[in-house]
Structure 1
């Protein structure tokens, strides 16, 4: 932000409006849903059920204002940059967000980086409440040798590349290999596999970027493996995304029936979504196994498959030490059951050849501002039910609340035969009025 503009922003922030003003940092789904909720419920005068709640706003609620700050010039966060281009129905929520942004009581300020252009401290002085919903801007690392080799990418960067996230526009992934390995069993992993294997005619009808489409048109990838540390009962993707992969034209699922032995009984009492998902994997594994036995190796141009109970230990380099040629995987066994099952190495290893590795093991947040505490070990802002810990919340005292303090002082004075007994501890004053 240019210096004059920054000065203007600071001058505007320096004068606190009489009506409640709430600042939302981040214009992704969380930010817009927060703004919608605030604007809807401020009409009742409160966001929580008790006056002691820091979000209790007893006055001026009809004039309340929500301002949304975004570091990029464009809004909508993961709806724009995270949702797969062939899932346009998921992006329809943008219509609702647009309606919110056009409200007279909501303002959007793009191209403003909180922590650089304006500090959190300044926002605290200018607003009655500051909501941090800036998301997870970094990826979790594998922490294994070789993950910095050419041909190894984070899912976040790859998704940002084909979705047009400015910071990833120059990624230029090398798609000259035949086999890709995706580490992770979530919906993002399936999204990436589907984009890599989708017919170009499908992708041309989406909002995928031109440069990504051109790169995919030249791609040599025809086989995609998705590997996870745990088993079929612990996969994180949902049945909709799995069904899309199974029905993807020109591709063949490769699922080993042995991976699903005994699971029919194991999921009988499981929650319905988990049961249906597992049954679909079992059905697909058995059907494709029978087809292969009858038809030998079908002439399907592209394949994808799930590999279970494998944990990456090392990304293996080519002879020149420059590029990835495979991944050494530790075979695991499961201790426990269900979602709480843990993968424990068995001591056995295997090597999986591939020329492209995509790590889809989750995102992580980064610190926003020195004034905001940050847990670097867990990559989160320490909080109690969403309230940031270690940072005072600025809650003004209204005149009617002062009158409660006044009444308490007069009552104490009367008991001592005095006009009043002044309360000298600010914390005691605040406690009296439920702060």
Structure 2
């Protein structure tokens, strides 16, 4: 029997468990640990609430979770309730699937002012992550600046721009829906250091901006390169460019008072304000022959009471585990960190790729685990973990418990919504008894 612990119950964690089943058959026991009492990681707390079809992938993970040889061990904090070294002593292999839940720091003056938040915090706030329920984003001013040109930046802008009616059928949490309904923001400026040819936004995300009830995306036609220069781009990037060109060509709609402004070749250099964010100081950039954006010396100010930094994520380091500071992930050789210790998903490669990218990644790491394991095992595995956690009074949440929580959230849903998430650890634990 092989005993494998996976730390993190997001896509990378469940794809790794699925790969273990395919590799070892019935001769494996996989325990998936998570510090939250609920599974699925960013599927629950990272994917935008108006993207319900993407969240549907959780049903695949549920199929894996309900098998006899995979177990969800929720409400267990690795590093606090049990250490990685203790898990390495109990299991044949330990796989870090912790993702990259921390924001990369915005290293400009004023980044610590009230009103400036990272995308992990802002996305966690509107998705009901227990760590961010008290965020209280600054929605009292008319201007917001979103720093970044990726899909997360688009998500943030779209959520800020939607009317309450446009959230029907979503699982945005009730407190966020209420605060957004009272928001005074009417202009969101998306800052990108480089130009349209360098955006990381996908065509699908961009297309959604063209169908908002009260908001119009604004692109300066002068920022767009000649159409013929699109030819070397891959087809998905060309489709994204086509949407930007459509936005630039569209006349200003009188019935859409909310603006989503794409400000390309724009680099934030400071955030200013009297005790809180009031404006972002931006320097105009130009691209050199290598595509690097350099400041031109021309600066201007954009009014903003809310600044959301969407410049990337990093994996939280764990004491004693080799860490690559520059890449913001665990130091590893194609998934191997130390004997018996592996990394998968964003914890292995950094925050790149889609949800589906984690599946081949999980299978690749499990192949390495299989080649590294000795015949036979004398590790205690699951019984050893249970005994250790019980001795420390840790209240473990099982997948069956999660199903009770899920049923209670579904029952509490407002009209038209799939669920109303419980947003505190206490409420989540209490829901098991409902």
Structure 1 length-normalised TM: 0.77
2:284 equivalent to 1:335: no
TM-superposed deviation, 1:142 = 1.2
Equivalences, count: 348
2:9·2:39 contact (CA, 8 Å) conserved in 1? yes
> Hey, what's the Cα distance between the residues in 1 that align with 2:223 and 2:341?
53
Deviations along 1:249-289, one digit per CA (max 9) or x if unpaired, are 22112111111141x11111321111111122112212x2x
Unaligned runs of 5+ residues in structure 2 are 343-368, 377-434
1:382·1:389 contact (CA, 8 Å) conserved in 2? no
Matches within 5 A, 1:251-330: 251-262=215-226, 264-286=227-249, 288=250, 291-292=251-252, 298-317=254-273, 321-330=274-283
The equivalent residue for 2:417 is none
Deviations along 1:325-362, one digit per CA (max 9) or x if unpaired, are 1111111111236xxx2111112211112221111101
Deviations along 1:22-57, one digit per CA (max 9) or x if unpaired, are 1111001111111111212323xxxxxxxxxxxxxx
Measured on the aligned residues, the alpha-carbon RMSD in Å equals 1.8
Q: Which SS does the other structure have where 2:300 is aligned?
A: strand
Q: Give the number of the structure whose alpha-carbon radius of gyration is greater.
A: 1
2:308 equivalent to 1:345: no
2:123 equivalent to 1:159: yes
Deviates more, 1:82-91 or 1:381-390: 381-390
Q: Which SS does the other structure have where 2:278 is aligned?
A: strand
Deviations along 1:229-268, one digit per CA (max 9) or x if unpaired, are 0100111110001000111122112111111141x11111
The equivalent residue for 1:191 is 155
The equivalent residue for 1:382 is 331
Unaligned runs of 5+ residues in structure 1 are 1-18, 44-61, 400-435
Higher relative contact order (CA 8 A, sep 6+): 2
2:315 equivalent to 1:365: yes
The equivalent residue for 1:77 is 41
Structure 2 length-normalised TM: 0.77
Deviations along 1:164-197, one digit per CA (max 9) or x if unpaired, are 0000011111211111110001111111111111
Q: After the TM superposition, which segments of 4 or more aligned residues of structure 1 sit over 3 Å from their partners?
A: 389-399
> Hey, what's the Cα distance between the residues in 2 that align with 1:271 and 1:155?
28
1:84·1:163 contact (CA, 8 Å) conserved in 2? yes
TM-superposed deviation, 1:127 = 1.2
Q: Which SS does the other structure have where 2:329 is aligned?
A: coil
